[in-house]
Structure 1
Amino acid sequence: MRIAIVHDWLYTLGGAEKVLAAMLRCFPQADVFCLFDFLSQEDREKIGFKTSRVSFLQRLPGMRRNHRRFLPIMPIAIEQLDLSGYDMIISSSYAVAKGVITGPDQLHVAYVHSPMRYAWDLQHQYLNESGLKSGLKSMVTRLLLHRIRLWDVRTSHGPNDYVANSHFIARRVRKIYGRHAKVIYPPVRVPETYHRVPVGRNFMTASRLVPYKNVRCIVEAFRLLPEERLVVAGSGPEAAALKAIAGPNVTFVGFVPDGELRSMMSRARAFVFAAEEDFGITPVEAQGEGTPVIALGRGGTRETIRTGGDAPTGLFFDEPTGEAVASAIQRFIASEHSFDRQACHANAARFAERIFEDNFRSFVLDRFEAFRRQFAGPIESEVVHAVQWRGAYSELEHQDALQATVRSRPKSA
């Protein structure tokens, strides 16, 4: 069985790349395809492959610096990937990967991190953040996004099966594509056991510092809580603006390697998260280190944080505003004793890498076996029918021969 895994693009190591790495652990013989690949060889080896097969976008000038400008031609580019030599295609899609062209004898399983957010329900946010709210460029961009939506729906019939990374995304797949999606939560590296460590005074958040992560409202919340401390881990284009509005009780530490980041998480009073994510790996990682989470109550975090019962692992706020975040932090402080860090770790263990790999491998192989049976069924039926028809035909020939013999005998016989 030849397997191809199609990923949208590769230029950084994020949550989708962690899923890709887990897929390659499930199917290490698979070949990797993508629109473009600007990873270092070291990062490729971290994911689990040496080389990838890319589209013509790899060679276009400016692609490395600002790939989103090329969004209008990405549907065309993904359709040029030649997958004709493969028995099974797995797409890892948050943009266009699920639109690859496959044949009727190839099984295509699409793991959807999200339908294209900036083309669908986050279109207006994308236009506002890009300075395209009005004007000629706005009109052109809206037209292009409209055409991308048409292509996205048209190609939704291509995959044989959909897998979503949360029930939140499964609902989006149903609404946009009209298809059912099996939910398999993405893999999170969770320690096998929880080791209690001393907890400090500070709260913490970690994220790429970009607008949709809503780190601004967290920083603003701590301006309203001057007695509390916040540590912000991560880098990005919003870093300077966030530092400009932050109070003296907010510390920015920039990019932090994974091991150090987890150590910081384990010592924080709580992890604060304000993005509406499709799943949200970072809040689960924080819980895996025993840390409660204060999060925006939208998207995938509603499936990964327990707010009720005897063992809550966090609490929610309703709006990504400084006031709402500050109020949630005050509620947390008032009930901090009720959050058991061992329970946080146990909750995160539901999303461990091993569980994803077992579930995903079993689902894909079961679907491939069923697909091959379905594919072989009509052929087998035709063979049986041909044999039966030939047998019936032979019986007719035999009867005709007997009748001819009887007719040719003399009447006296």
Structure 2
Amino acid sequence: MIFLDAAATTPVRREVLEAMWPYLSGDFGNPSSHHSLGGSAATALAEARAGVAKVLNCRTGEVTFTSGGTEADNLAVKGIALARRAADPSLDRVVISAVEHPAVEESARYLARIHGFGVDVVPVDGDGLVTVDALREVLGPRTALVSIMYANNEVGTVQPVAELAAAAHGYGVPFHTDAVQAAGWLPLDVKVLGVDALSLSGHKLGAPKGSGVLFAKGRLRLEPLVHGGGQERGRRSGTENVAGAVALSTALVISHGEQEAMARRVSGLRDLFISAVQESVPDAVLTGHPVERLPSVASFCFPGTSGESVLLELERLGVICSSGSACAAGSDAPSPVLLALGIPPETAQTAIRFSFTQAITDVELRQAAAAVETAVGRVRNLAQRG
């Protein structure tokens, strides 16, 4: 099997399993307990927080552990917007891009539906990019928050986050970015990025599912979603998942150390794969920005096919990939991301996303490119016979 669905999830790294194992076995204490077992758990949690803070170049008090990227996005979008409106009732609008992950988009829609916020959607160009000019057109004195993702989970386009954050700050508006797909591939220094909040997910990095992080500046007001005992400095109550925090921190530190070399290596392999697919299937449509894209993502539409049929053929040939976001559960509608890029619905339904782990090899991608040619050919032949 050739696994090309790393944007959906990644295998847990052995180093991560070894680091978290003690907190699933002997060191099982509650970090809020005032005894030796609790103290051991509290120390592990503090060390995990310090590891994340070092990678992000922030203070430990600005790191909040969550159950994953979705919760981190919800806490950022709802928490910041609600806190800012509570301080100033005129701040009743949030800005998102047309290509956000559902965790951000649905959080904004919730604010509109339940709390009466307005939602301003910034369009993207045909490559999936948000321009500074497009963002400025929707910013105004009532904007409470801007949330624009760092790198797209479907087409891989990387946004100019530092420029967009600076534009938001010009209007006095805090800026959040969903960096779930960027982690391990792009720099995460929050001071360089200029962001006020940033979300991460452990299982995209080689940690188990169910661990996430929200960086939020210490001075940023944040209404918690989960109320209780005041853990995580009051931003996210509930007994902390110590093993999950240790796992995420370990995976993040390891991937950060490898990031530059891995991004360079996999980018080269990605480009060779794209060229091979375009050569063997000349009408394949590469989606996303041709240059400003994640090293780990190559996404295509194959006009005249059924995307699901191509996926099934590829799996028969030993290649595992996807038709888009794994978070759009049960949906067979055209991807809103592809529609936002101006791709016709009938073409968008032929989309296939190939996303790579850091361990991907040249041999695997050459085999996968050959499988794509075979799979697309088979689907088209069957369609012609039908």
* Same fold, TM-score > 0.5, yes or no: no
Structure 1 length-normalised TM: 0.28
Specify which structure has the higher proportion of helix.
1
Larger radius of gyration: 1
Which of the pair has the greater relative contact order for Cα pairs under 8 Å at 6+ separation?
2
